[in-house]
Homo-oligomer: A and B are copies of this chain.
């Protein structure tokens, strides 16, 4: 592993990032093929491939065999951006993730309520209904739930918060895992309260509804932890 080799692939990766930015390529846009990229970057095929592999692992590019090289969804946001894999205490992780969501999501909901157009509010209603449908059909609602919360983040207009999508997804997955999805009624009802407040552009009501939604989640999580520690005690 000579440093110069690493450095050339790194420089090439940076060159490709610059190319994406300069050409204002967005999610789903196709890049030139390998031959063209090789000559654009002035490197051989193997260095180019190494650079592309690094960009694939950083969620900047996606390679479709036989079709081409494309810019990723949520460009450059890592799957595990904050290294949760390396946080050992998963019980604390899920509690702290919820605490983190309580810091940001009520205010984000208020911002979304201030800015939502009627079209965005309808779209959000549709997404809340999809979460409810998953419950009714007995399907996992974790993805639909994350999409619902990500949409509120998008409507808020803040450019940072939607990038936290993988964190929220992670938080929802872990929560469902621990609480065994027992939040059915409360989730459907509080999601609807959030949607209704945003439809009315009522920022305070949206903030309250989101706070309530997360408090129900936290309460359920606390009970799950208590049940777990009392069953450990009884063993």
Are B86 and A20 in contact, with the CB atoms below 8 A? yes
* Best-buried of A54, A81, A89 by chain B (most CB within 10 Å): A81
A87 contacts the other chain (Cβ, under 8 Å)? yes
Taken together, the copies of this chain in the complex come to 2
Q: Which of A74, A80, A89, A159 has the most CB of B within 10 A?
A: A159
Interface of A is mostly: helix
Beta-carbon contacts of A60-102 to B below 8 Å, as 1s and 0s?
1001010000000011111011111111110011001101100
Cβ of A144 to closest chain B Cβ, rounded Å: 23
- The segment from A160-168, A177-185, A190-198, A212-220 that touches chain B is A160-168
Residues of chain A having any CB pair with chain B under 8 Å? 1, 3, 6, 9-10, 17, 20-21, 24, 49-50, 52-54, 56-60, 63, 65, 74-78, 80-89, 92-93, 96-97, 99-100, 103-104, 107-108, 158-161, 163-164, 167
Q: Are A21 and B88 in contact (CB under 8 A)?
A: yes
A108 to B160, CA, bound (A): 18
Q: Are A75 and B83 in contact (CB under 8 A)?
A: yes
